[in-house]
Copies of this chain bind each other. A is one copy, B any other.
């Protein structure tokens, strides 16, 4: 029976990972850790035996206790302050809660000599404005936000622990992932919620946004967690993998798609004060490497994902 430690357990992604293990009937023992209690029911799975422990990964003693007592086979390190916007407002906290928490974790694993595979989750934000597409793992990152810097730093640390200290680390650059239950500080969830609200309550069809010209590459969170599972099982030690759809869409096009599904028309007001100090203009990735190594490619269409997000917000406004 495989033992997984999942950090950032109360966040958006972990429940989908549990759902995936359950769907393939994989007997698993999970320890979820997070600063806040999870709001979902993690105790009612059939194949997945899951417990939760409140912990702050900035506290070395917490990390030490967790690793020593649980002795995981796999660590899915989801814990992150993953909002780019937040990182512009609070670069110090963003950095600590991305890079420092990861370093605390991996260093404790090394010190205690626990043999496990660590999945170090990174972000497409790392790339920056490179100017040729699709973005491929060997491209040199030019991070333009504090969040992006924190993620590149985490990846460089992962490389040192893997290449120099021989630890079993796999790195990802996970592109924008979306799905039901995602917090509305993230752009697509925010759009869907606002538009569902307009439709449901027949409000003035107006929406205020940041820069809609940026191009992003969206993947359903269920496809993402399937990739994580495949990487645990078959990924190559020390390697870095993009996880993406390889399709680019402006936020404007995305907004249109949601409006089409909802069958509404809205007036869009782009507010330059909502623009970021600097941003990646075009993010389109290549998933050729992960496909070549473990056979992963996205399966869920964007339309399906948006439908599911609309369904969620329709039930939860």
Residues of A within 8 A of B (CB): 60, 91-92, 95-96, 99-100, 103-104, 107, 140, 143-146, 148-149, 152-153, 156-157, 159-160, 163-165, 277-278
Copy count, this protein chain: 2
Whether the pair A153, B278 counts as a contact (CB closer than 8 A) is no
Q: Is the interface of A mostly helix, strand, loop or mixed?
A: helix
Shortest A280–chain B CB gap in Å is: 12
Tell me, rounded to whole Å, the shortest Cβ–Cβ distance linking A311 to chain B.
38
Contacts of A156 in B (CB 8 A): 143, 149, 152-153
- Interface contact A92-B60, CB-CB below 8 Å: yes
By a CB distance below 8 angstroms, the chain B residues around A143 are: 156, 159-160
**Which residues from chain B contact A96 at a C-beta distance below 8 Å?**
100
Contact A149 B160 (CB under 8 A): yes
Closest to A149 in B: B156
Complex formed: what's the CA distance from A148 to B160 in Å?
Answer: 10
Find out whether the CB atom of A153 lies under 8 angstroms from the CB atom of B160.
Answer: no
For residue A106, give the distance in angstroms from its CB to the closest CB of chain B: 9
- Whether the pair B164, A145 counts as a contact (CB closer than 8 A) is yes
Report the bound CA distance from A278 to B163 in whole Å.
8
